[in-house]
Structure 1
Amino acid sequence: MKRVVIALLLNAFILPGAGQIYLGSKIKGVVLVMAVNLLLLAALFFMMKISAPVIAAHLGGTPVTAQQVLEAIQPYSMWAKLLLSALLAVWGFGLVDLISALRTPPND
């Protein structure tokens, strides 16, 4: 039982999928880690794409207004919500999977 609690803490606070790897479900853990990394990479891509026009305007010497920032963010707001939802879904799946391991009796 102590191993499952450690795995749950790893999964909740370190990286989704780390707890599965710790418990020996290597394939499920690697898939979760890869999914989280891909979602974080997509989020980084969108952040760079959103901030590029604002940074370019600032480097060009023109003052950056709140309206310019809102205009840069607005086209990507739906994608940001989808990315956040997908990340929370992967994180939640990892936690629910480990909680279900708490309820099953150990094989050894």
Structure 2
Amino acid sequence: MVKKLKYVALSALVLPGLGQLCLGRRVKGAVMIVLDNIFILAALFLALRSAGKLMLAGGKNVDSAQVLAAVQTDAPYARWLLGGFLLLWVYGIVDAATDQGSSNN
């Protein structure tokens, strides 16, 4: 039971997919970690793109409404990324808690 809590904590607090790796589900854990990295890198790309828009507008006489409109174009993509990561995170926790795995519990 203590090992099961360890696997759930790894998936919940460290990185979704680590609990699956410890349970012996290597393919599932690796796929989840790759998906986590895709979500994180895509979110970082969106954040840097929005920051670039703000920095470019800093040196010009641009209305704040125009800057806000330019940054808000990335908002739907950020919501999709956040939703996808949240679903993957919840799936990782539930799967680590319910999967028996191939290790000795």
Query: Are residues 1:11 and 2:11 paired?
Result: yes
Choose which of 89, 96, 99 in structure 2 pairs with 1:98.
96
Give the total of aligned pairs: 104
In structure 1, the residue corresponding to 2:73 is in which secondary structure? Answer: helix
Whether the 8 Å CA contact 2:17–2:29 is kept in 1: the answer is yes
Unpaired stretches in structure 2, ≥5 consecutive residues:
none
Unpaired stretches in structure 1, ≥5 consecutive residues:
none
Do the aligned partners of residues 83 and 3 (structure 1) sit closer, same or farther apart at CA in structure 2, a change above 3 Å counting? same
> Could you tell me which amino acid in structure 2 is paired with residue 36 of structure 1?
D
- Pairwise CA RMSD of aligned residues? 2.3
Partner of 2:74: 76
Do the aligned partners of residues 70 and 21 (structure 1) sit closer, same or farther apart at CA in structure 2, a change above 3 Å counting? same
Do the aligned partners of residues 16 and 107 (structure 1) sit closer, same or farther apart at CA in structure 2, a change above 3 Å counting? closer
Structure with the higher fraction of residues in helix conformation: 1
In structure 2, the residue corresponding to 1:24 is in which secondary structure? Answer: coil
User: Residues of 1 paired with 2:62 and 2:44: CA distance?
Assistant: 22
Q: Give the alignment's TM-score, normalised by structure 1.
A: 0.82
Poorly superposed stretches of 4+, deviation over 4 Å? 63-66
